[in-house]
Every structure is written in structure tokens, then in C-alpha cells.
Amino acid sequence: MKSLINKVLVTSAVIGLGGGILNSNPVFAATIGYNLRFLDNLGSQVGSGEFSYNPGTSTCIQEIPVGDSCNEMNGFFVDTELTGFSANISGTEWGLSDRSGQLWWDEATSTVEGTLSHRSGIFLQDQWFFGDQFFAENLLSMRGASGGTWTQVLDTTNFLSGTWTAELKNTTSPGGHVIPEPLTILGAGFAIGFGAFFKSKLK
């Protein structure tokens, strides 16, 4: 009886490991996404949007305008720089290409962080800024942590402001890869091994 159990365990282990080798995909970093809601000062929703980042990438944030490239001497690295952004507030569309500097999300504090470039240097901001950074028109500014404030100025007569919230979305893997858990692979292999063994014994 002991030898039969050993055979089953060996068979299950081989099937489980084989299944893991044949079916496992390379591990891809998931894209983290958030849904945005924009509320006016009365609490009514006037816009929505989303943003995303890939924590599997490392991006240098330059804070001192020295040198030809960003490195540890003139900046620092983050894993949460935005890779996507879109918003529609009262019919006005904003996208990642409208940003005025680098933007990233502070996961520890759920806070927006960014940079603004100016003739006199690079400024670190607790702010996401889109649009014209030199004139007070055609811009969108978002400040603070989740539930912070926003301001949209299209011209001297079109000014909106309020609060925003961010809600975590389900994460997705690039290419839609389904990555089986190692324990799931071994468990399935063990079950298959038992099934094959008992089926052969019934014969």
C-alpha cells in the first residue's frame, strides 16, 4: 500500500511540475488603474476620468536642471509615473499629452505628485497640471490626496472648481495573459495524478 501511495505522489508531482512548465507565462507587471470623479462645489458630479501606471517600470524624475539626462545626481526614481490619463469635465477633454511636466501617484498617501518646468528651474508639486502653465487660462489643476481639489480654467469667464475622488480599478496584465498560481498548478496536477491512478486500478 505504501508503494502505491508513493507512486501516486510521484505521478502527481511530475504532472504538476510539467503543467507548470508548459502552461506558465512570463510574469508581467500589472497596470494599476483608478477611476476619477469630479464634483463641483455643491457636490454634483460634473466630470469623470481615469489614470494608470505600471509599477514594473522605473522612471527618473529630474528636479535639478543640470546634465543631459536624468540620474541619481539630479533627480530620483519612481515606479508610479502615469502611463495614462483622461478626463472629461463639463465637456472639456484632457489627456496625458496635455500634461506640463512629469506626473506620478504616491501609493503610500494616495497623493498626486508632479513637476513644473520653468525658466528658473524645475519645481516639485503636490499637483497634477495640464494645459498652459504660464498663463492662467486653458488649464486643469488637481491637488491633494484622494478627495482633493481641482480647478479648470478655459478663459477669464469660464472657471470651474470642486473636489475629486479616485477609486482603484481591477488590475490587468498586458496582453491579457492569465498567470496560474503555483499552488493551483500543483493542486491540479495532484488531482489529475490521483484520477489517472485510480482509473488504471479500476481497469
Judgement on whether residues 189 and 142 belong to the same structural domain of the protein: no
Does the pTM exceed 0.75? no
Judgement on whether residues 43 and 123 belong to the same structural domain of the protein: yes
Question: Residue 11: which domain range?
Answer: 2-24+182-202
Judgement on whether residues 10 and 79 belong to the same structural domain of the protein: no
Nearest alpha-carbon partner for 150 in 134, 169, 166, 135: 166
State the pLDDT at residue 27.
44
Distances 82 to 3, 5, 42, 144 between C-alpha atoms, Å: 58, 54, 29, 16
Per-residue pLDDT of the chain (203 residues; tens, 9 = 90+): 545 445 444 444 434 434 433 343 444 558 999 999 999 999 999 999 999 999 999 999 999 888 778 999 999 999 999 999 999 999 999 999 999 999 999 999 999 999 998 777 889 999 999 999 788 789 999 999 878 999 999 998 899 999 999 999 976 655 544 334 344 444 444 444 444 444 454 45
DSSP 158-202: EEEEEEEEEEEPPPB-GGG-----HHHHHHHHHHHHHHHHHHHHH
State the pLDDT at residue 68.
79
Judgement on whether residues 92 and 122 belong to the same structural domain of the protein: yes
State the pLDDT at residue 184.
41
Judgement on whether residues 93 and 116 belong to the same structural domain of the protein: yes
Judgement on whether residues 192 and 98 belong to the same structural domain of the protein: no
Judgement on whether residues 142 and 42 belong to the same structural domain of the protein: yes
Nearest alpha-carbon partner for 34 in 51, 48, 47, 17: 51
State the pLDDT at residue 5.
45
State the pLDDT at residue 134.
81
State the pLDDT at residue 135.
82
Judgement on whether residues 190 and 147 belong to the same structural domain of the protein: no
Give the total number of structural domains in the chain: 2
Judgement on whether residues 138 and 115 belong to the same structural domain of the protein: yes
Rounded to an integer, what distance in angstroms lies between the CA atom of residue 123 and that of residue 63? 7
Judgement on whether residues 11 and 65 belong to the same structural domain of the protein: no
Judgement on whether residues 89 and 54 belong to the same structural domain of the protein: yes
Distances 65 to 41, 54, 79, 97, 122 between C-alpha atoms, Å: 38, 26, 21, 22, 7
Judgement on whether residues 13 and 102 belong to the same structural domain of the protein: no
State the pLDDT at residue 175.
54
